[in-house]
Chain A
Amino acid sequence: MISAQRDRKLCDKIFSFARKKDAEVIVFSSESALTRFADNIVSQNVSNRSLEIVIRLVEGGRVGRVSLNHSGDAELKAAVESAIAMLKTQKPDPELLPLPKPLPVRENTALYDEKTAAFSPMARADRIAEAVEAAARDGQLASGTFDNGWSRVTVANSRGVFGSHLESSAAFKLTVKDGDGMGWADDSGAVVGEIDFSGVSACARAKARLAKAPRDVKPGRYTVVLEADPVANLLLFTSIYGFGGQFYQEGQSFMAGKLGRRVMGPNITLEDNGLDGPSASMPFDFEGMPRKKVVFVENGVAKAVAHDRRTAAKAKAEPTGHALPNPNPYGPIPTSVCLRAGGSSLEDMVKGTKRGLLVTQFHYLNVLKPIELELTGMTRNGTYMIEDGRLAYPVKNLRFTESLVAAFNRVEALSPTRKVKSAFFGGKFLVPAAKITDFCFSSATSF
């Protein structure tokens, strides 16, 4: 594991090479390992140690940015000289912000576990073997991944900003095939010892068993009970297109011009909380600004969007600590989005449904109309018909085409328990299960 002290020395060295020009340095260091299994065998098994150093110089409205993966003096000097040369290639941009001065940043030290960072290939294989052998005993096929590792991100600038964040991570994801039935479950966290391997195994295997011999189902509008994973993936797109300050300022967000107005149902409260609780993450952004809690939607009313320094300056607001590495074309993006819990368990949601569908996962989501958040995607790994308050039979997968803005106005229930889910492009989403009425499924598939 790389220490914050090493990164501080590295950054100071780069600042000294920068000939008193304003310099920002982002250092990404990591060691990650992943064992992949399929068809009840280990199919891929990898480990990677990596380093990336991103140097950005800012002078007189001009910017130069270089990146490299070596920390030797000669390489660093050459990279800085290249960035200095880049400064001369541009016309000054009067709107380019100077680098910020430091603000107090709290630390999230509880997200690193030595044992998780160092979990061995054989230990991963042993855990996987338990799930594979259990599946094989029932004539099922298991596939999935078990990954672990650590990562450190350091953000510093020559005006005194310095933040360094260390996290360990582990995740066990299991897909089980039982004839023509598919099931899926996962668990993840900063501490490998807290992962419920047997629970994941039992859940995925039971779901696959229950999904055998799926029946055809007609597309149309159905009440859906969504488990936490599909909810997280819907929120991923809501966060990118809805809550980022740049999309808002460009008029491309459904929130644009609607702050203070009702945009979702009264049971919907969405916030970003990277500071504490299960969605805690890096406590500063890629400009080194302290991350703040931001409530985007409160009881259905649009309240705020996430800002980096650039969008904050335009909005005459404070940055919220959601900047991506600059310069970038997307602006700020929230990555620790939490949906407030409700009072109805997933089981109660099913019990209270006359006719509807229970969805385990969504697959391959994409956006057609960003302002309406009109998405399409498929169900996956266990879709079940609910009739008269019980799971009646499994159904073949369906494609949905739905406006999320409209759907979040039809959320009938949310569960009291929430799970942290990493959606398709990452992030930590703290979400309950949800019941939504009249969800539009536009076509069907053959399995």
Chain B
Amino acid sequence: MFKLCEKAIDIAASHKAAFGDIRIIETRSQSLAYKNGEVGVLDDGCSLGFGVRVLLDGAWGFASSNEVTGPEIERVSLLAIEIARASARLKKGDVRLAPEPVYRDTWQTPYLIDPFAVSIETKLDLLARVDAVLRKDRKVKSSTAFMNFIREHQYHATTEGSRIEQTLLTSGAGCSVDAVDKGEVQTRSYPATHGGQSLGLGYELIESLRMLDHAERVRDEAVALLKAPECPSGKLDLIIGDNQLALQIHESVGHATELDRVLGYEESYAGSSFATLEKYGNFRYGSPIVNLVADATVPTGLATAGWDDDGVKAQRWHIVEGGVLKGYMTNREFCHAVGDTRSRGCSRAEGFGNIPITRICNLSLMPGDWGLDDLVRDTKDGIMMENNRLWSIDQKRVNFQFGCEIGWLIKNGRRTKMVRNPTYQGITPEFWNSCDAICNARHWKLWGVPNCGKGQPGQTAMMCHGSSPARFRGVTVGVRPK
């Protein structure tokens, strides 16, 4: 494949491009689901294509195609050059890339069991058995059990001389049930909502989830929620489960610290950010116990790789340290804006057909020192919430509102009754500053976000967020139309 890459590199160099690269990507994917007792999804896909990026006359051009042939690489490379020249029609200065060493190396996601070597029959059999357990209640109107696997084989060549080959593997699975009665719909999922659990692992992830062992509880909780009282409205101390907290990190810290958003380059679509440059290094994002670390090297992370799509080596750094904003998600183009001479390596593209953009890295809340039982015992009037059901946040990542699948009230240090439709709303810095307790490493878990949408044209990226349950004081809960 690298031989084919040379065509694009030669064309970019012959046109005196300041930078050029080509990514040839071969993808194998498999999605399976049982839904309501039937095969709901069954797809085995493969794709091959390439994308060429050129920095010419100080501006970017990108073009891609599914035909990986010499003549097509030539056509697409010349189109990328034409596009770069058009981009230069409107510029303030030349795009300048932070330097990065040249690499000629390979990287591969470590795994134990190749998911594509496990038979479809075995996978469907497990999903059918899980689905059958989920459906064993007449109030269950919709059930699903699913698995997804993606293997992406990338060849990345740059005019600077890097030749990087990476094979990234992700596996994911989960199950979900909707119980319906008297105008009420209640959903429970395992192990998480929105795609279950996805990690950079092989089929061993599916085995470790033990979905069959959890299906009955998931079903019974969904049915029980139908008769549970509504989440009360008011201000309560809120203990957020590790899975929901992962999404809270994603939405209110991850996106807020993407440097392209901060600089206004996402203004027209996803929005910008309140975490503006003058806050860098001095803004109290959260309480002193809040430490958030970005890490492209964390084992099993969905954003874990050897290099990003700018050819920048994987790194680990603080975004929030001791509650203070200390870092951003950066790429080679924008890192100058925060005075950095090197990118943090957050430039990634979905597949071959998209230009790399700044993405959230794996971003985790570091564990504290509380046991979960001790935290509950220490809470007088509170609520616990688990598994996301609803998420919404404003275009500067300030005002958010989340809903969870299930909540439990806490009275005088004891977890009491289950409540349905639990929601909470807050303002990002106020919320993180109200964090007064984080559970310890025994409760810490890495959660996959396999479906993060951003960019125009829209791209999906994957990343992980690690967290353990944490407590936030005096949060507005039970938001509903009044």
Contact = CB atoms under 8 A, between A and B. Distances in A.
A367 B267 contact: no
Contacts of B481: 374, 401-403, 406, 440, 442
B77 to A, nearest CB: 12
A63 B83 CA distance: 43
Contacts of B403: 368
Interface string B425-459: 10100000000000000000000000000011100
Nearest to A249: B141
Contact of B392 (A41, A95, A377, A440): A377
Contacts of B141: 250-252
B133 to A, nearest CB: 17
A188 B292 CA distance: 42
B267 A67 contact: no
A50 B68 CA distance: 12
B67 to A, nearest CB: 8
A445 B399 contact: yes
B2 interface: no
B38 A96 contact: yes
Interface stretch (B45-53, B104-112, B160-168, B234-242): B45-53
B398 A42 contact: no
A320 interface: no
Given A42-B89, A63-B42, A70-B48, A175 B267 contact: yes
Interface string A230-268: 000000000000000000001110000000000000000
Interface in B97-156: 119-121, 124, 128, 141-142, 144
B401 A376 contact: yes
Contact of B90 (A41, A49, A52): A41
A366 interface: yes
Contact of B89 (A43, A48, A126, A145): A126
B480 A44 contact: no
B399 A444 contact: yes
Given A369-B185, A377-B392, A65 B87 contact: no
A125 to B, nearest CB: 4
Nearest to A173: B268
A369 B183 CA distance: 10
A125 B90 contact: yes
A93 interface: yes
Given A376-B390, A443-B399, A125 B479 contact: no
Residue from the set B47, B425, B457 with the largest chain A CB neighbour count within 10 Å: B457
B387 to A, nearest CB: 14
Contact of B390 (A328, A366, A397): A366
Contacts of A90: 39, 121, 124
B27 to A, nearest CB: 9
Nearest to B123: A89
B271 to A, nearest CB: 7
A175 B268 contact: yes
A70 B45 CA distance: 11
Given A39-B265, A86-B42, A122-B86, A145 B62 contact: no
Given A44-B357, A45-B87, A143-B264, A327 B42 contact: yes
A48 B392 contact: no
B265 A43 contact: yes
A129 interface: yes
Contact of B44 (A33, A50, A66, A128): A66
A327 B41 contact: yes
B482 A440 contact: yes
B48 A65 contact: no
A128 B423 CA distance: 42
A12 B391 CA distance: 45
B65 A49 contact: yes
Interface string A375-400: 01110100000000000000001010
A373 B353 CA distance: 36
B91 A121 contact: no
Interface in B25-77: 33, 35, 38-49, 59-67, 76
Contacts of B88: 42
A380 B392 CA distance: 13
Given A41-B91, A69-B48, A403-B481, A50 B66 contact: yes
Contact of A49 (B64, B92, B274): B64
A376 B392 contact: yes
A32 B457 contact: yes
A373 B348 CA distance: 35
Contacts of A51: 66
Given A251-B141, A368-B389, A42 B86 contact: yes
Interface string A44-65: 1111111110100000000111
B66 A49 contact: yes
A89 B59 CA distance: 51
Nearest to A124: B86
Interface in B286-300: none
Given A38-B264, A39-B263, A63 B39 contact: yes
Interface residues of A, number: 94
Contacts of B38: 93, 95-96, 327
A274 interface: no
A147 interface: yes
Contacts of A39: 92, 263-265
B61 A365 contact: no
A363 B395 contact: yes
B390 A368 contact: yes
Contacts of B13: none
Contacts of B159: none
B115 to A, nearest CB: 15
Nearest to A64: B42
Nearest to B61: A45
B414 to A, nearest CB: 27
Given A49-B66, A66-B44, A374 B353 contact: no
A181 interface: no
Interface string B342-374: 000000000001110100000000000000000
A54 B41 CA distance: 13
B381 interface: no
Contacts of A126: 89
B170 interface: no
Given A41-B92, A363-B271, 15 more contacts: A39-B92, A42-B88, A42-B90, A45-B61, A45-B84, A46-B83, A65-B42, A125-B89, A128-B90, A252-B180, A329-B33, A376-B479, A380-B271, A442-B482, A446-B396
Interface of A: 32-52, 54, 63-70, 79, 82-83, 86, 88-91, 93, 95-96, 120-122, 124-126, 128-129, 132, 141, 143-145, 147, 173-175, 177, 221, 250-252, 327-329, 363-372, 374, 376-378, 380, 397, 399, 401-403, 406, 440, 442-447
30 contacts: A34-B456, A36-B456, A38-B264, A41-B92, A42-B59, A42-B60, A48-B64, A48-B354, A49-B76, A50-B66, A51-B66, A54-B43, A67-B46, A67-B47, A70-B48, A70-B66, A70-B67, A79-B46, A90-B124, A120-B86, A124-B86, A129-B90, A143-B265, A143-B268, A173-B268, A250-B180, A364-B393, A374-B480, A442-B425, A445-B396
Across chains A and B, which 4 residue pairs bring their CB atoms closest together, nearest first? A121-B86, A445-B399, A67-B45, A125-B89
